[in-house]
Structure 1
Amino acid sequence: MMQHQLSIRAQSRPEMLERVLCVVRHRGFQVSSMHMVSALNTDNITIELTVTSQRPVSLLSSQLSKLMGVSCVEIQQ
């Protein structure tokens, strides 16, 4: 299995983490590690995800970027 790292910037909303994890599961990826940080003086969060799957990470990245409230999804190398 391939391991991929993603950095997601989004609005700090109660349902945001749940939506991100739902997309990860539905796209066939498994979360290996996760770290979430709230940005100071803003209503934004950064979620660092490490996921594993045989599928291309671009499938997950494109779906996450379509979520309402997500401003940026970056694939870390």
Structure 2
Amino acid sequence: MNQHSFAMQTRATPEVLERVLRVTRHRGFQIQSMQVDEIDNRQALRIRLTVYSERPISLLLNQLNKLIDVAQINELCTDQQQKWA
């Protein structure tokens, strides 16, 4: 299984975490760790996820980018690269 880490910035809406988790599950990725921090005076969230799957990470990132509340996604690391961006 491949492990991938990425960070995303979203609007701080009540349903954003549910949407992120649903898309992650529907695309066949399992969450290993998740960290959520409020930023910009509670107007936005920074979500850091580490997921694993045999599927390409682009399948997940492309779908997360389509969510209305997602402003930005940055891939941090994969287990194959072992190099932080």
Name the SS for the 1:74 alignment partner: strand
RMSD of the alignment, in Å?
Answer: 0.9
The alignment's TM-score, normalised by the length of structure 2, stands at 0.87
Give the corresponding residue for 1:22. Answer: 22
1:76 partnered with 2:72: no
Structure possessing the higher radius of gyration over alpha carbons: 2
> Distance in 1 between the 2:14 and 2:28 partners?
24
CA deviation after TM superposition for structure 1 residue 73, in Å = 1.0
Gaps of 5+ in 2: 78-85
Listed as ranges, the gaps of 5+ residues in structure 1 are: none
Q: How many Å separate the matches in 2 of 1:60 and 1:4?
A: 11
Q: What number of residue pairs does the alignment pair up?
A: 77
TM-score, reference length from structure 1:
0.96
Q: Which runs of 4+ in 1 moved over 2 A?
A: none
